[in-house]
């Protein structure tokens, strides 16, 4: 079948198998070029198929020589209905194939990472194939979570009062104003259930209970802080409350499992185009400005550059700030970057976004996420989906 992109708002409903493999191959090549460091050897990545989780899996596999197990929730293809699989499904298949070829163990699980069944299945696999894991990376970004017979959803809203600011309308590249509404207390609590630390803690607890995690193991989860104009929607918004819970969970985990010498970190990552971040109001405009300014200053990184720097430099050095965060947003938050963005933010309009922001860079990353727009992939070719 010939696979073309079908973009609807901030999502693409098709994915290209060869293009996704190309994206994985490029990330692997990047890490191979960095050499190897001493690091974890048996790594479980929860949320391993796209964005930061996939890049983490590639970074530890190729940067530290680690065997990996991955958990993700992806859609299989349906050739009869001419429906491609999701990008994460193709990414995972490509990663497994390439890792195995390179002599690295890789096993993946597709299903709901929140569920007890998935935890049991993965822990059984760790016990039978590895004995124990020595690192757990938690990179799940989910819109909802089912607990028993109840499903709760996360929302991207403010807390306190509504917030109006400019945003980039991805349907037509226009700068418009958007007012983000206030989350109710119930919505905040649900967002914490989905994106906070409860499930991360459950994974670690279950792993220790089953004796499937080494003493002295390391676990990492991801957060975002960002500059002031994104605070009402991110850091101080409903998602920020969940991230606060995630941070508190890191402290609680280290305390609870201090006898097992567990180290739990939150890495604050850079704002990047991923399937999750494209859905957040105001953030796409901010990202297009960040890309422009950071590229101009020679500081731009994608997911794989960020994760290679995390697992090969900052984490081995245990480089944390005063609150214990690993700051992978160090370059994004530099004064030279933020003062330029703040200056441009005031004057950005539909007419000048082409010069002020990196719209092309935004869309390139967007299409690349689904395996499109790689110059060395022949998109006119029939492919097996
Ligand atoms: P993403 O959408 O690219 O990846 C999400 C992953 O979670 C995928 O592998 C997906 O399959 C998996 N997943 C979703 N629901 C699941 C479920 N029920 N069970 C199992 N797996 C499930 O997102 P991302 O942007 O890479 O986000 C990963 C983490 O990084 C999140 O904690 C996010 O908040 C954080 N982060 C993102 C950014 C950014 O700009 N994108 C910046 C800083 C921090």
Counting atoms of ligand 1 from 1, which one is nearest the CA of 70?
9
Share of the chain above pLDDT 90, in %: 93
Does ligand 1 have an atom closer than 6 angstroms to the CB of 191?
A: no
Question: Which residue, 205, 271, 264, 207, is CA-closest to 233?
Answer: 271
Question: Which residue, 9, 1, 17, 92, is CA-closest to 374?
Answer: 17
Does ligand 1 have an atom closer than 6 angstroms to the CB of 53?
A: yes
Please report where in the chains the tokens 């974890």 appear, as a residue. Answer: 40
Element (H, E) at 215: strand 213-223
Residues in contact with 97: Cβ distance below 8 Å, sequence separation at least 6, in sequence order: 21
Does ligand 1 have an atom closer than 6 angstroms to the CB of 142?
A: yes
Question: Distance from the CA of 381 to the center of ligand 1, in angstroms?
Answer: 31
| Alpha carbons 233 and 239: distance in angstroms, whole number | 8
- Ligand 1 atom 24: the closest Cα is on which residue? 51
Best residue among 15, 47, 193 to mutate for probing ligand 1, ranked by most atoms within 8 Å of CB? 47
| Residue 218 token pair | 């390391």
Question: Tell me: the pLDDT tens digits for 256-297?
Answer: 999 999 999 999 999 999 877 877 888 889 999 999 999 999
The pLDDT assigned to 280 comes to 83
Gyration radius of the chain over CA positions = 20
- Ligand 1 atom 12: the closest Cα is on which residue? 47
Counting atoms of ligand 1 from 1, which one is nearest the CA of 52?
26
Please report where in the chains the tokens 């493999």 appear, as a residue. Answer: 21
pLDDT in single tens digits along all 385 residues of the chain: 999 999 987 789 999 999 999 999 999 999 999 999 999 999 999 999 999 999 999 999 999 999 999 999 999 999 999 999 999 999 999 999 999 999 999 999 999 999 999 999 999 999 999 999 999 999 999 999 999 999 999 999 999 999 999 998 878 889 999 999 999 999 999 999 999 999 999 999 999 999 999 999 999 999 999 999 899 999 999 999 999 999 999 999 999 999 999 999 999 999 999 877 877 888 889 999 999 999 999 999 999 999 999 999 999 999 999 999 999 999 999 999 999 999 999 899 999 999 999 999 999 999 999 999 999 999 999 999 9
Question: Distance from the CA of 275 to the center of ligand 1, in angstroms?
Answer: 8
The pLDDT assigned to 95 comes to 98
Please report where in the chains the tokens 């996360």 appear, as a residue. Answer: 154
| Active-site residue set | 234
Question: Tell me: the pLDDT tens digits for 69-115?
Answer: 999 999 999 999 999 999 999 999 999 999 999 999 999 999 999 99
Question: Distance from the CA of 380 to the center of ligand 1, in angstroms?
Answer: 31
The pLDDT assigned to 259 comes to 98
Does ligand 1 have an atom closer than 6 angstroms to the CB of 73?
A: yes
Question: Which residue, 46, 219, 58, 41, is CA-closest to 119?
Answer: 46
- Ligand 1 atom 18: the closest Cα is on which residue? 112
Does ligand 1 have an atom closer than 6 angstroms to the CB of 203?
A: no
Counting atoms of ligand 1 from 1, which one is nearest the CA of 239?
34
The pLDDT assigned to 8 comes to 85
Pairing of strands 144-147, 150-153: antiparallel
Does ligand 1 have an atom closer than 6 angstroms to the CB of 86?
A: no
- Ligand 1 atom 3: the closest Cα is on which residue? 51
CA-based diameter of the chain, in Å? 59
The pLDDT assigned to 54 comes to 98
- Ligand 1 atom 14: the closest Cα is on which residue? 142
- Ligand 1 atom 5: the closest Cα is on which residue? 141
């Amino acid at each position: 079948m010939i696979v073309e992109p079908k973009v609807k708002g901030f999502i693409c409903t098709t994915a290209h198998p060869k293009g996704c493999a190309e994206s994985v191959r490029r990330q692997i090549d990047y890490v191979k070029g960095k050499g190897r460091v001493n690091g974890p050897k048996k790594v479980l990545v929860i949320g391993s198929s796209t964005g930061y989780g996939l890049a983490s899996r590639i970074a530890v596999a190729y940067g530290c020589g680690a065997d990996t197990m991955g958990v993700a929730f992806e859609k299989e293809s349906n050739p009869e209905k001419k429906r491609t699989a999701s990008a994460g499904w193709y990414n995972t298949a490509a990663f497994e194939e390439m890792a195995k070829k390179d002599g690295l163990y890789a096993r993946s699980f597709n299903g709901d990472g929140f569920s007890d069944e998935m935890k049991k299945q993965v822990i059984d696999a760790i016990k039978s194939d590895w004995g124990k894991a020595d690192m757990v990376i938690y990179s799940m970004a989910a819109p909802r979570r089912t607990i028993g017979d109840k499903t709760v959803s996360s929302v991207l809203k403010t807390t306190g009062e509504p917030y109006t600011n400019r945003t980039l309308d991805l349907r037509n590249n226009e700068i418009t104003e958007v007012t983000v509404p206030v989350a109710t207390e119930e919505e905040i609590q649900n967002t914490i259930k989905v994106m906070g630390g409860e499930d991360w803690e459950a994974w670690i607890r279950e792993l220790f209970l089953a004796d499937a995690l080494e003493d002295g193991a390391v676990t990492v989860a991801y957060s975002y802080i960002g500059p002031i104009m994104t605070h009402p929607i991110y850091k101080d918004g409903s998602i920020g409350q969940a991230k606060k819970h995630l941070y508190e969970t890191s402290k609680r985990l280290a305390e609870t499992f201090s006898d097992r010498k567990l180290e739990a970190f939150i890495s604050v990552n850079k704002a990047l185009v991923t399937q999750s971040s494209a859905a957040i109001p105001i953030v796409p405009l901010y990202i297009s400005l960040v890309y422009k300014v950071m590229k101009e200053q020679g500081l731009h990184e994608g997911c794989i550059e960020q994760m290679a720097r995390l697992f090969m430099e900052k984490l081995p050095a245990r480089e944390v700030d005063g609150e214990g965060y690993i700051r992978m947003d160090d370059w994004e938050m530099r004064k030279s970057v933020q003062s330029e963005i703040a200056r441009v933010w005031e004057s950005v309009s539909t007419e000048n976004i082409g010069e002020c922001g990196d719209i092309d860079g935004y869309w390139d990353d967007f299409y690349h996420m689904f395996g499109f727009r790689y110059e060395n992939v022949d998109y006119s070719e029939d492919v097996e989906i």
